[in-house]
Every structure is written in C-alpha cells, then in structure tokens.
Structure 1
Amino acid sequence: MIIGINTFTVLLLGGVLLLVYLMASIYQKRFHEVNLEEIGAVFFATTSLCGGTKLMYTTLLLLDPGTIESDKIYTAYGGFCVVWVSVRKLKEKINSGQKKSKREI
C-alpha cells in the first residue's frame, strides 16, 4: 500500500522545517534578526520543497500508466525545478545567517 501525501501533510512538513530553521537561527544567535518577511519566505520555500517532491512522486509512481509518457516527464521535471529553487533559497537563507553570525564574532 502506498502512503498518500495530502495538502495537510505538505503544510505540516513545511511547518516542521520552518521550526528547524528557527531553531538553527537561535543556535546561530541571530534570532533577533529574523522578521516576518523572512519567516514567510522560509515557510513558502519549505512547503514548495514538500509540494515539489509530492508532484514528482505522484507523477512518476501514481499516475495511470495509460497517460502520455512525455507529459509525465515534463510534469516531473517541473516538480524537480520547484524542489531545486526551494533548496537554493533555503541554502541562501542559512548561509546568510552563518555569515552574519561570523561577522559578530
């Protein structure tokens, strides 16, 4: 049996990853610099990461085999692009936090 990934699961995973990001910013001693705009951007990136993964998963594994293969490839590629952009944005946010905390030392 394949476990279904619904919208609630994507939002829950995005929220958990946002909490991990906030805990990392506390560890880096830059929590006072985190504002609502940054929290929104990180939450959007984490939910996009989960949503893109869900898109690739459902396209490649769960779609009807009778669908056109080229459509599956392009849809999965779109999911991969969403994941790629989300990972780059999260990496950028984490690295900017590390640079700020190193300047304070």
Structure 2
Amino acid sequence: MDQQTKELIENNINTNEVCLFMKGTPDAPECGFSMAVANMLKILEVSFKSVNVLSDQSIREGIKKFSEWPTVPQLYVKKEFVGGCDIVKEMFENGELKKLFEDKQIKYKK
C-alpha cells in the first residue's frame, strides 16, 4: 500500500469517532454485509462516517492490509478496529455494541 493511501485511511479513522469502510454508501449500499452494518448503526442512531471502498481501488485493497482483515465492511470506533459484519452483528445482538459506545462515550439511542 502506498503512503498516500495509508494516510487517507488513517485520516478517516483518526478524524471520525465512528468510521465504516463499506461497499457503497449507507443510503445506497452495494453489498448486503455493508448494508447490515450501516443499518445497525442507523438503528442505534450513531453518527458515523462512511467510506465507499468501491470508489477507490487503492482504499479497497489498502484497508484490508491496514487492518490485516480480509473483508469489507470494516468498523472502527475511536481509532480501534471492531470487526466486520459477523462480529458487529453478534455485538449488536448481545448488547456489546451498545456497551462499546458507552465505554467510548459515543452517543447512541438507548
């Protein structure tokens, strides 16, 4: 991954409390897994930044190297990699996602 891509990824993660790297956008997702994670964040009314990896091939490949995680979507909360769809879904269902937002002092619908 080139330095410019790395800096772009880091900038998105570092300047947004909740950042979702996804295929498409929250209003027009282009992947069921991306749609699922965006919808969970919408249900909790969490303010988040989305990055459409389909609009930039270098980010699409770079985020996988950056996180050492092979798939998209990828959720970051306060600069910490949380996981992909399966992990976020499990955390959503068992209440861990709400606890994470509480612990990180991020507003969400209780």
TM-score, normalised relative to structure 2: 0.26
Bigger Rg over Cα: 1
